[in-house]
Structure 1
Amino acid sequence: MAFLFSALRVLLGLFFCVCGAIKLTDRISGEAHQQLKSQFVQFADAFPLKEFGYKPEPGRYLETMGWIEVVAGLLLAFGPQLLQEISNFVLTIIMIGAIYTLLVLKEPIAMCAPATVCLGLLLLLNIRGRERSAKSKFE
């Protein structure tokens, strides 16, 4: 069972790396990169902190999310346990923000599916990590 969770952690981390890299460059998928660039104009308009007077510039927002996903994905996949937990938390916040943004923009529920599945898997890994930590304290 531990192998299954380790494999899930690595695959999910690599998935975030690829998603982040697509945001950063058009060399992986030019079409997806261009689509994300146009979507992030809308995403900036629905940014959760907009209510507090902060609205990010769409290009910078796209780039920041890309770098966060690449770094957090690598740490989730290959980092030491503490950094895996931190990256899991960061990616969880990003997925909650993504779902919030899509709902504010009134996108179809199907558009929320990838972020929702990723959020569920991150939470599953988080629960598994807490069980593992609790178990090691009692041994």
Structure 2
Amino acid sequence: MAAPFTALRVLLGLFFVLAGAGKLSELLSAELHRHMKSEFVRFAEVFPLKQFGFAPEPGRYLEVVGWVEALAGLLLAFGPQLLQEISNFILSVIMIGAIYTLLVLQEPLAMCAPATLCLGLLLLLNIRGYAAPDKPKFE
């Protein structure tokens, strides 16, 4: 049963590496990068910590999220178990923030689907360690 979770972890980690790279550079898709730049202007307006006086500059916000996604995705896919768990937590927080942001901006619920799916998969990877161990078979 470990192989499917390993495959999910690696694929999800690589997905986040690509998502982060798309935010950081135009090399993957110039159109996607331009779209992300314009979206992060909107996202910065509803940043959750803005109420406490912390309002990020949209370009810097985009860079930070991009780097965190790329590095955490890389560690999720190929890092040691402790760093995989830390990366999972960090990426889960980012996905919760993404869902929050989209809901505050009153985007259609369909826009929340990718972040919700990613969050669900990250939580699945997180709880899989708490499943009951297989019982030994006696022949």
Q: What is the TM-score when the length of structure 1 is the normalising length?
A: 0.93
| Residues 35-80 of structure 1 deviation map (CA, whole Å, 9 limit, x = unaligned) | 0000000000010001111110000000000000000000000000
Give the aligned partner of residue 17 of structure 1. Answer: 17
Aligned residue-pair number = 134
- Counterparts of 2:74 and 2:17 in 1: how far apart (Å)? 6
CA RMSD of aligned residues (A): 1.3
Runs of 4+ in 1 over 4 A off after TM superposition: none
> What is the deviation of 1:130?
3.5
1:30 aligns with 2:30: yes
- Contiguous gaps of at least 5 residues in structure 2: 134-139
**Where do 1:27-106 residues align within 5 Å?**
27-106=27-106
Q: Which has the higher helix share?
A: 1
- Structure 1 gap ranges (5+): none
Name the CA distance, whole Å, in 2 between partners of 1:119 and 1:27: 27
| Aligned mates of 1:2, 1:27 — CA distance in 2 | 35
Give the aligned residue type for 1:44.
A
SS in 1 for 2:27: coil
What does residue 120 of structure 1 align with?
Answer: 120
TM-score (norm 2): 0.93
Q: Which amino acid aligns with 1:102?
A: L
Seq. identity, %: 72
Q: Supply the distance in 2 between the matched residues of 1:119 and 1:97 (Cα, whole angstroms).
A: 10
Question: Aligned partners of 1:7 and 1:84: how far apart in 2?
Answer: 13
